[in-house]
Homo-oligomer: A and B are copies of this chain.
């Protein structure tokens, strides 16, 4: 009984490549199941064997986009890297994948970003999954004494704020040029060395001792 299932999976994958061609040609414009059937030279009723609705197509496209990114996150979380390196790689590896995709086809990449914004409900689960993996690394860091005075959820939220241009590249803005691996390393260091829950004693810290001096 394995044969038909494999064939359906292979056909779904081919149809998803066709979906990408449609995005490549038309930009971030939603297409219907009929459009896809037409492009595939299939009848809509035949196409529904592979995707039961337009929403199922979007979900499968999102799954295809995030597949490698999720695998990378999973690998890094499971690795025995030191926590600082783990945190850096968690963002750096995905940044590298996104940068490669962007450089291969900038317009296609931008269209995917726009589709993601328009169909946010479809990618919401992937964002939550990334937060879940990030929380595991943050938990390890907290066990090592980092993020004193903060809860894990606070750190997830604060880190998302501080690494945003590395995670969600807005290629229309100049910031993307600055979102390099080298800058990411400095940002991750700043987060690990500087992010704590003490918020209301600014004055006493001015001219105070700093890690780099004390550790030098």
Residues of A within 8 A of B (CB): 82-85, 88, 117, 144-146, 148-150, 157-158, 160-166, 168, 172-173, 175, 178-179, 182-183, 185-187, 189-200, 202-215
Contacts and interface: CB of A to CB of B under 8 A. Distances in A.
B144 A160 contact: no
A163 B175 CA distance: 12
Contacts of A203: 82, 84-85
A180 to B, nearest CB: 10
A88 B178 contact: no
A145 B210 contact: yes
Given A194-B193, A205-B193, A148 B182 contact: no
A187 B155 CA distance: 11
A164 B175 contact: yes
Q: How many copies does the complex hold?
A: 2
A203 to B, nearest CB: 6
A191 B210 CA distance: 12
Q: Which of A148, A187, A194, A197 has the most CB of B within 10 A?
A: A194
B187 A158 contact: yes
Given A148-B212, A193-B194, A208-B215, 18 more contacts: A82-B203, A85-B203, A88-B202, A145-B210, A145-B213, A148-B213, A158-B186, A158-B190, A161-B165, A161-B166, A168-B173, A186-B195, A187-B195, A189-B195, A189-B199, A192-B194, A192-B205, A196-B211
